[in-house]
Structure 1
Amino acid sequence: MNSQTIEEGRGLAILSYFTFIGLIIAIIMNLNKKNEFTFFHIRQMLGLILMLIISNTVEAYVHSWLGTILWAITFLCWLHGLINAITRKPTPIPFLGDKFQNWFQNIK
């Protein structure tokens, strides 16, 4: 990715990290632009939403501290992704970020 692509997609990449609605808006607005930096962060956020669903499910049905720990890990990964979008870095979140890129590779 070149710096112009990153700069053009930065705003939507940041927006994608703000709630599910921000993610949907970023997807819709990027459909015509096809900015790879934005799509990179959209795929990261989709993975984070999946992590959040899993952590909430564990917390609701297992009734243990494990769900809270998973939620905290998800939050820290979200913060990492948001900071990367703000600082113009296409860096995947730790551990699962590369997997998210593979799982959601059709989103482009």
Structure 2
Amino acid sequence: MDKNQVKEGKGLATVAYLTIIGVLIAFFMNQEKRNDFTYFHIRQSLGLWLTYFVLGYVVSGFDSWMLTYSFWIFFIVLFLFGILGAVSGRLNKIPLLGDFFQKIFKSLGN
């Protein structure tokens, strides 16, 4: 991946982490240019958002402020990790689940 492609894809890659709607916006806006850097971050972000919603549903069933705060801190750190990777132009995989996200969403961008 060349530096020009990374430079062009930084904006949409960052947008993908902002909200679940941002993932959709980045995906559809990237359809005509087909930037691999952006697709990498779209896959990471989509996996992160889906995991957030599934685990959030499970955590909401417990009445524990420690569990809730731990959940929030965990996901804030992961989202910041992804955003900083997108802004800096690196292909940082999300810790623990990044390889899995790339594998299950590999059809996005092909």
| TM-score normalised over the length of structure 1 | 0.91
1:13-35 Cα shifts (integer Å, max 9, x gaps): 01111112211111110011110
For 1:1-108, what aligned pairs fall within 5 Å after superposition? 1-64=1-64, 65-108=66-109
Q: Which moved more, 1:6-15 or 1:69-78?
A: 69-78
Q: Which moved more, 1:49-58 or 1:89-98?
A: 49-58
Contact in 2 for aligned 1:55/1:67 (Cα 8 Å):
no
AA aligned to 1:106 is: S
Deviation of residue 55 (structure 1)?
2.5
AA aligned to 2:40 is: F
> What is the Cα-based RMSD across aligned positions, in Å?
1.3
Q: Percent identity?
A: 39
Contact in 2 for aligned 1:55/1:68 (Cα 8 Å):
no
| Unaligned ranges ≥5, structure 2 | none
Contact in 2 for aligned 1:14/1:86 (Cα 8 Å):
yes
Contact in 2 for aligned 1:5/1:37 (Cα 8 Å):
yes
| TM-score normalised over the length of structure 2 | 0.89
Q: In structure 1, how many angstroms separate the alpha carbons of the residues matched to 2:56 and 2:34? A: 32
Q: Could you say what secondary structure the match of 1:34 adopts?
A: coil
Q: Which moved more, 1:91-100 or 1:61-70?
A: 61-70
Q: Could you say what secondary structure the match of 1:62 adopts?
A: coil
Greater per-residue helix proportion: 1
Runs of 4+ in 1 over 4 A off after TM superposition: none
